[in-house]
Every structure is written in C-alpha cells, then in structure tokens.
C-alpha cells in the first residue's frame, strides 16, 4: 500500500511491504508517532482506540495481506467473520498461528480455493470465503484438535433443518450431491459420510438416532418447529419466570356477573378484530338469538366467542399437556368460527399468513411450534404468567386461517379462570396499547411493555362491579372510554378516577 503524501489522510491500516524506501517511510512514521505497530509489517494510523477493535473491524484486509489466497474456513466461514477472536483459514501445508491484539488466526493446511465447477469459493478481498458446500464438509471433520474450529453437530443439524424447511427436499438432495462431489476433490470423504447420514436422518432415509439436536430430532419425528419462535418464547419465559405477578381474584365467576362479563369480553374481543356491532345488536344476537340481516357470519362469531367465554370446558378448563392443548385450541376456534366453513374452523392453516411485515409460523411447523410453546407454559408455576405465555404463543404462531386473536385471548382467560383469577377484557380504546407491546415483543424480544400492558388492563377489568345490571356496567365502561376508537383523543380511565371526580 502506498504511503500518502503530506496533508493526505492516512488509511486505518498500513502495510510495510515492497521496496526498501517504502519500508523506511513506514518506520519513520512509526517513530514520529503517526503509526502504531499491530503485527510485523502491519500498522494502523488510529492512535487513540484499542488495537483490538481496529484489528477486528479490518480483519479481512489484514488476513488477506498476510495470507493471500487463503480460504476462510470451518466455523469462520459459517459466520463470515472471526468468532470469539479466532479466525480459521485454510492455506498451504504447514499449520501455524498468527497472534495479534483481538485476533488469533489459525492456519489449517489444506487445498486452496475452488475456482471451477458448479460449487466455487467466493473471492473476499485478497482471500476466499468457503462455499456453503465446503464449510458444511469442513465442519463435519472429526479427530484430535478439531473440536475448537468446527461447529457443534447440533448447530450443523439445525442449519440443515432450516435448509430443508426453506428450500425443500429437492434442494437438500442437490446440496447433498454437491457435497459428495466436492468431498472427492478436497479429500473429505469421511466428513461427507457423516454429513450424508445426518442429511439422510432429516429426510427419513437414515436412522434418526444419529441426530443430536432437539430441532433435528423433532423434524425426524414428524414434529418440526420454528426455532426462531422458540427463542422468542424462551425470552418471554425467562422474563415471566423472574418477575412477581399479580393475583387479582375473579369477581365475575358465577351467575349474572359471569354472564355480563362474558358478554363484554365477547363484544370487545370481536370488535378489536373488526367484527363491529352496536351493543344493543350484540345483546340481541347473544341473548335473543337474533341474526343481524346480511351479517349472519359476524353474528355467529360473537355468539361463539360468548359461548367459549361463559361455558366449560372453554371457559375454565385449559389443557394440561401438549396434545390436549392442541386439541383445546382446535375446539375453541371451531366454536368461534363455526359459521365460516371457508375458513376451515378448527383446522390448522394450510397457507402462510401474515400481518403487515410479520410472517407467522409456516403451516408445516404449526403443531410442533405449539407443542414447544406449551412446554414453556407448563413450566411456569404462576397462573398469570401461564396466561400471558399462552396468549403470546398462540398469537405468535397464528395457527388458524382466521380467529387467531380471539382464540389466543380465550386461551389466556381460560388459564386465569382455572386459577380463580380475573379474566381480561381488551376494550376498543386499549387496542393499540395491547397490540404494540405484542409487536415489540415479537420484533425486539422486549417483554417489559407486554407485561406492563397486561397487568394494567387486568387491574382495569377487575375494577368494575359485574353484579350490576348489564346496561349499568355498560354505562360504567362507556364513562371509562372503553368504546372509543380514537386512541389519540381518548385514554383508558379507571372507574375509581371517575368516582373520585364525582366526589
């Protein structure tokens, strides 16, 4: 690299290589305090920052200078960068280690870059980045001293499971064939043998007992799940497990209070999903059996939600094992959506669904992801925590073509009722306060707004006297802005705040 002349801006990394005059200029700049030495022949013009950070952000340029033509290999190729300060490069015939601040380069003897044929290593600065086929073979290596530079068998299995999910069996088999051909070229036949058996186990053509990862074993058992959603579930699980939860007793567990509560629960749960009625119309549907003209399906939706909120087993008998959980969800969705045969009520979705930019769990992963989610539900000992975990699992999986939000909230409330705790109503005015924390949790794994929002709305829900006449409760809800749609103009008010104002 040429040394800039006076008044030019020096690059971060400067190499001392080439003619003697060039080397002398570099040494003079080091003596003048303009450059710092990183490694033999490698210098930086950055004087105030730690050398470790300078080296790591320029690792490609440095490694390419020291080991031109080398192939970034093994676990480094999978990540496309150094991992834990280590970089593995295949080059030449002699193993060696290059140590510098923040970076330890391990040179592994082996064949150079593959530049011909259908599978090629990609040029990267003065290096090459191992192809997917190559790094898969390399990471199936075994033997003394190999473990530190290869991915765990579980990591390889999870990657292959993802390939199978996203590309399908045909592409996985194509990948397998490419691995077989490249193994011959790189003398990695033993590694291919192990990789071949792993791929076969995922495809069902080899014994599944060879697999190690939970994800791959689930796939081989016909119960594949979405690993990214499981990471989300684990984040919420850990947060719920580590925080104290409220215990607000159910004040509407029997008689008229139960009926009134279930009515408003069904009314708002449908309203939030776009099935809107006047309160008087909803009362006619539920208590008089009326079907609103030209809205038969909508009428049955709200009646089905009311039935699930007021009758056992949907109201207060949640599942206690994973398979029963799946059956319970199908049952309640079938009840709520029974008038919409085109939505296949009570059946898992057969096409992918999404809201905005959020793509929910793919159809083939629905049962397995729900099972894994339920294991987190069951592992929580606090009923409020179980309820929130249940609702998030169902909402995040979105297992049905329609009715997912209503099903998720009914599943949450069943957990609360089973423990004698107050169910939760999400009024119209609180819609954004309810949905935005769910979105934040889904996109950013931030559980704090979700727990805060649900604690608040449960406290609000429990603050009303549901033993009073239904129209009186409705008036109280109206006074608290429950029915307002313009959240930017109205806020949720607790009934005691109104009472204090009257006094």
pLDDT digits (tens, 9 = 90+) for 407-456: 999 999 999 999 999 999 999 999 999 999 999 999 999 999 999 999 99
Angle subtended by helix axes 189-203 and 153-186, to nearest 10 = 130
Say whether pLDDT at 503 is over 50. no
Query: Is 17 annotated as belonging to a binding site?
Result: no
**SS3 call for 361:** coil
Q: Are residues 379 and 484 in the same domain?
A: yes
What mean pLDDT comes out for the span 317-337?
96
Q: Are residues 234 and 317 in the same domain?
A: yes
Q: Are residues 234 and 375 in the same domain?
A: yes
Q: Are residues 337 and 286 in the same domain?
A: yes
Q: Are residues 269 and 416 in the same domain?
A: yes
Structure confidence at residue 488 (pLDDT): 87
Query: Is 102 annotated as belonging to a binding site?
Result: no
Asked if 345 and 334 touch (Cβ cutoff 8 Å), the reply is yes
Q: Are residues 318 and 402 in the same domain?
A: yes
Distance of CA 333 to the CA centre of its chain: 24
Structure confidence at residue 211 (pLDDT): 75
Asked if 111 and 186 touch (Cβ cutoff 8 Å), the reply is yes
* Residues spanned by the domain of 497: 227-502
Q: Are residues 241 and 379 in the same domain?
A: yes
CB atoms within 10 A of CB 85: 14
Burial class for 359, CB neighbours closer than 10 Å (0-12, 13-18, 19+): exposed
How far is residue 185's CA from residue 432's CA, in Å, rounded to a whole number? 58
Structure confidence at residue 209 (pLDDT): 65
Q: Are residues 377 and 236 in the same domain?
A: yes
Burial class for 168, CB neighbours closer than 10 Å (0-12, 13-18, 19+): exposed
Asked if 175 and 163 touch (Cβ cutoff 8 Å), the reply is yes
**Active-site residue, 206 included:** no
Q: Are residues 325 and 283 in the same domain?
A: yes
Count structural domains, the chain. Answer: 4
CATH code for the domain in which residue 456 is found: 1.10.3290.10
**SS3 call for 463:** coil
- Is residue 59 a part of any domain in this protein? no
Query: Is 369 annotated as belonging to a binding site?
Result: no
How far is residue 103's CA from residue 285's CA, in Å, rounded to a whole number? 70
- Is residue 137 a part of any domain in this protein? no
More confident of the two residues 181 and 208: 181
Say whether pLDDT at 51 is over 70. yes
Asked if 28 and 34 touch (Cβ cutoff 8 Å), the reply is no
Query: Is 275 annotated as belonging to a binding site?
Result: no
Average of per-residue pLDDT values in the chain? 92
Strand ranges across the sheet with 13-15? 13-15, 42-44, 36-39
Q: Are residues 125 and 18 in the same domain?
A: no
Confidence of residue 355 (pLDDT cuts 50, 70, 90): confident
Query: Which residue, of 170, 192, 220, is where some domain finishes?
Result: 220
Structure confidence at residue 7 (pLDDT): 43
User: Cβ contacts of residue 395 below 8 Å, gap of 6+?
Assistant: 404, 405, 408, 438
- For 289-323, the pLDDT digits (tens) are 999 998 999 999 999 999 999 999 899 999 999 99
- For 197-209, the pLDDT digits (tens) are 999 988 877 666 6
Asked if 496 and 481 touch (Cβ cutoff 8 Å), the reply is no
Please state whether 236 falls in left (phi above 0), alpha (psi between -120 and 50) or beta: alpha
Query: Which 3-state string (H, E, C) describes 56-118?
Result: HHCHHHHHHHHCCCCEECHHHHHHCCCECCEEEEECCCCCEEEEECCEEEEEECCCCCCCCCC
The residue assigned the tokens 């530190």 is 148
- Is residue 404 a part of any domain in this protein? yes
Say whether pLDDT at 501 is over 80. no
Query: Which residue, of 220, 251, 272, is where some domain finishes?
Result: 220
Q: Are residues 207 and 243 in the same domain?
A: no
- Is residue 140 a part of any domain in this protein? no
Q: Are residues 290 and 357 in the same domain?
A: yes
Say which of 22, 206, 214, 398 is annotated catalytic: 398
- For 13-50, the pLDDT digits (tens) are 999 877 788 889 999 999 999 999 999 999 999 999 99
Phi, psi angle pair for 112, to nearest 5°: -75, -165
425-372-393 Cα angle (round to 5): 20
């Amino acid at each position: 690299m040429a040394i800039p002349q006076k008044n030019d801006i020096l690059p971060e990394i400067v190499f001392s290589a080439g003619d003697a005059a060039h080397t002398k200029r570099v040494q003079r700049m080091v003596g003048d305090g303009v450059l710092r030495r990183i490694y033999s022949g490698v210098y930086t013009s950055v004087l105030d920052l730690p050398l470790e950070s300078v080296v790591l952000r320029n690792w490609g340029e440095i490694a390419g200078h020291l080991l031109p033509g080398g192939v970034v290999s093994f676990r480094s190729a999978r990540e496309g960068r150094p991992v834990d300060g280590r970089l593995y490069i295949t080059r030449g015939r002699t193993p060696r280690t290059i140590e510098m601040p923040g970076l330890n380069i391990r040179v592994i003897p082996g064949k150079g870059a593959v530049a011909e044929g259908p599978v090629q290593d990609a040029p990267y600065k003065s290096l090459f980045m191992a192809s997917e086929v190559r790094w898969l073979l390399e990471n199936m290596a075994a033997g003394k001293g190999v473990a530190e530079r290869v991915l765990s068998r579980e990591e390889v299995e999870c990657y292959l499971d993802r390939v199978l999910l996203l590309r399908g069996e045909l592409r996985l088999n194509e990948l397998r064939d490419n691995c077989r051909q490249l193994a011959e070229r790189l003398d990695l036949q033993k590694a291919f043998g192990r990789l071949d058996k792993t791929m076969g186990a995922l495809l069902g053509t080899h014994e599944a007992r060879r697999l190690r990862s939970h994800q791959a074993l689930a796939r081989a058992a016909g119960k594949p799940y979405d690993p990214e959603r499981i990471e989300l579930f684990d984040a919420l699980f850990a947060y719920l497990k580590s925080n104290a939860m409220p215990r607000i007793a159910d004040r509407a567990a029997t008689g008229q209070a139960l009926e009134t509560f279930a009515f408003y629960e069904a009314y708002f749960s449908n309203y939030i999903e776009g099935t809107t009625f006047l309160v008087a119309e909803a009362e006619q549907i539920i208590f008089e059996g009326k079907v609103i003209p030209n809205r038969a399906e909508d009428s049955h939706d709200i009646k089905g939600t009311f039935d699930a909120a007021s009758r056992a087993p949907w109201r207060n008998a949640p599942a206690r094992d994973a398979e029963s959980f799946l059956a319970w969800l199908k049952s309640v969705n079938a009840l709520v959506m029974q008038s919409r045969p085109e939505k296949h009520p009570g059946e898992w979705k057969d096409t992918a669904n999404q809201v905005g930019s959020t793509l929910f769990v793919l159809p083939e992963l629905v049962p397995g992801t729900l099972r894994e989610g339920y294991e987190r539900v069951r592992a929580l000992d606090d009923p409020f925590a179980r309820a929130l975990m249940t609702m998030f699992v169902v909402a995040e999986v979105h297992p049905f073509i329609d009715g997912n939000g209503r099903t998720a909230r009914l599943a949450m409330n069943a957990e609360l009722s089973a423990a004698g705790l107050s169910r939760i109503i999400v009024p119209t005015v609180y819609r954004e306060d309810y949905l935005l924390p769910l979105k934040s949790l889904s996109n950013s794994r931030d559980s704090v707004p979700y727990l805060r929002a649900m604690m608040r709305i449960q406290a609000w829900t429990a603050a009303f006297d549901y033993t009073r006449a239904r129209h009186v409760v409705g008036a109280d809800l109206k006074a608290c802005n429950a029915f307002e749609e313009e959240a930017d103009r109205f806020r949720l008010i607790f009934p005691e705040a109104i009472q204090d104002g009257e006094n």
